[in-house]
Structure 1
């Protein structure tokens, strides 16, 4: 990374930490936190050490995302589209599902890039957790998984690659659960996911229709089926 680009990233991080790292609950939104969405996971693992060159080898997909646009991670809670009117496939073209159709311009585009994103190991039946910082509530949450044969290492996600594996009904504002993490200062909603017989790497795709407006959030989470729920995320190392 050039010295100029590094300085620009430092300045951007300083500003965005003030505006999004210490989030005002009135203006906050949310994301999938377990298994984590791609940009929430990158922020969680590297937000306090995002210039560490060790990321390039320990977590290369996050490395490319941070370098493409660091605001995608600082704004991990803002990946949404408005005025979708329930027609998700019309609003978001194939190949751009993880960026919600390049919402916000190119900010989230790197999230669509295929590759070895850090994947959480999960059993075939588990509970996905989605955090709503502003306590909007939900008209519904829908969670899909990629079909057998889809390869997240080489393929961009399309609507035809998905099958529904979990959903909720209405969740009222203020419903859900609290979290112990002070950065997650809203309410957490859960989706029971069932994908019997699945093994290996896959992508979960969660759609959250917030209740306060026609505002819909979209999250890609990487998983490996066949485990007991452990998380193989790397521990960032400090490089002087």
Structure 2
């Protein structure tokens, strides 16, 4: 091979290798934090639910028609979707209503900096069918443990497809006791006479530090 062409080929090979390395590093940055914390897997919270359906195909334009709420979330900030397990706040000391404004409950008050603001978008999020007796399942891949879980349900008459969630829209279903560090925490819950759409709002106060996670799970009560 001509010396000039050989040198050019080597430079292109080095450049291609650098691009591949950068791409892998980028993916690692996106995927890493998602495995570091936890999420409500049933009934799935908003960004986890979108990740399950579209994580391997998040650039598919068909999502805009088939799953518009997930589409707006992926378009707004793909990193927040890949990091679906990292929707948390530090140092709130259990004073959640003071730290999270009305209308920002699903983003855990992390809407102003844009990171998870799409979780607060009002609309017809895909919902999980449940009965009046149902179970909330938290997956804790970091083995943080829990000081407690707070599980709320939006009050009867509240329509999450047209209304932003305020603290006054929530009814507390339970405050659990402690969970020792593990990977799955289950809470059995009961309501009465509920039908139609609602949001289950779960707060996980982790035990390893003052770190609280926030999850909006869209549900549809069926009999």
Deviation at 1:21, TM superposition (A): 2.8
Partner of 2:77: 69
Residues 1:190 and 2:186 aligned together = yes
1:166 corresponds in structure 2 to 174
Any stretches of 5+ residues in structure 1 without a counterpart?
Answer: 1-11, 175-186, 228-240
Bigger proportion of residues as helix: 2
1:153-205: CA deviations, max 9, x gaps?
Answer: 1111110000012332100113xxxxxxxxxxxx1111112111100000010
What is the CA–CA distance in structure 1 between the aligned matches of 2:91 and 2:62, rounded to whole Å? Answer: 40
For the residue of structure 2 that corresponds to 1:66, the secondary structure is helix
1:221 aligns with 2:217: yes
Maintained 8 Å contact 1:117/1:222: yes
Aligned residues: 202
Partner of 2:155: 147
Partner residue of 1:200? 196
Cα 1:137–1:150 change in 2 (3 A) is same
Equivalent residue number for residue 165 of structure 2:
157
Structure 2 residue aligned with 1:33: 41
Change (3 A) 1:32 1:154: same
Q: Is the 8 A contact 2:151 2:203 kept in 1?
A: yes
Q: Aligned partners of 1:167, 1:13: CA distance in 2, in Å? A: 43
Which residue number corresponds to residue 17 of structure 1? 27
Length-normalised TM-score, structure 1: 0.80
Structure 2 unaligned regions, length at least 5: 1-21
Task: Give the TM-score normalised by structure 2.
Answer: 0.86
User: Is residue 200–residue 216 contact of structure 2 (8 Å, CA) maintained in 1?
Assistant: yes
Residue in structure 2 matched with residue 59 of structure 1 by the alignment: 67
Deviates more, 1:43-52 or 1:95-104: 95-104
Partner Cα separation in structure 2 for residue 96 and residue 112 of structure 1: 6
Q: Which residue does the alignment assign to 1:124?
A: 132
Equivalent residue for 1:210?
206
Q: Distance in 1 between matches of 2:140 and 2:213?
A: 10
Q: Distance in 2 between matches of 1:104 and 1:190?
A: 32
User: Contact 2:33–2:83 at 8 Å: present in 1 too?
Assistant: no
The structure-2 alpha-carbon separation of the partners of 1:121 and 1:71, relative to structure 1 and needing over 3 Å to count, comes to: same
Match in the other structure for 2:102:
94
* Alpha-carbon offset, residue 107 of structure 1: 1.1
Deviation at 1:13, TM superposition (A): 8.7
Q: Give runs of ≥4 in structure 1 deviating > 6 Å.
A: none
Structure number, greater radius of gyration: 2
